[in-house]
Amino acid sequence: MNKMISITYHSFFKNFFRFVLVATLVIGPMQNAYSWDLLEENNEFAGVRTHFNPAFGPFEVFFPDDGTQRALDLLDLGFFGLYIECDTGEKRVGINYQLWNDKDRQWLAQPLAPVKRVNIKFGNSKPMSWNVSNSEWWPDGSKTAYRVLIFNNPTLFVKKINSVSSISLTVNANQEDYQLRFITKNLKKYNSYFKNSGCQ
């Protein structure tokens, strides 16, 4: 009898602690939701942007120049921005790379290698080959450089982003390869912005 009671108590406490553990996991602190910056032009919706830094990955906001290691990493290594823009009623999705210029006290776009296709991993899926183009600029007036990687079929691209919590790809910037991973799970809350602006 005592043995049965002991087994019953053991089973009860085992299940109780299992419940407490599950409850703690559910109601405990959630992971940070990486944000999308709201982009506006003339006080009107122009799109959203999220960020990736080569030193510490995705982040929510620009860190102040407060001397912390993260702030220094951001200033030293810059950031990649994943943009979903709304221009004249049409979406445009692109990536650029910016470094801090201490002399001018501003972020400056950096050259990207010209490519026609990139392999993108949406969430945990297998990498998918995607057509891209590069926007051109002439920073010194003498040679062509590329500053934005623009993804073809942006509506389908955004649809795929909305179905996963991250995308991963490799980008060559300043003659170096960077493995990028953007946290994209909070993009859905901006869908109404795109819809209301006529940018489907």
What does the pLDDT profile of the chain (200 residues) look like in tens digits?
A: 444 434 333 443 334 333 333 332 334 343 455 789 899 988 889 999 999 999 999 988 888 778 889 899 999 999 999 999 998 788 999 999 999 998 988 999 999 999 999 999 999 999 999 999 999 887 666 667 899 999 999 999 999 999 999 999 999 998 899 999 999 988 988 999 999 998 87
Report how far apart, in Å, the C-alpha atoms of 131 and of each of 22, 96, 134, 186 are: 44, 16, 11, 25
The amino acid that residue 79 corresponds to is F
pTM (2 d.p.)? 0.80
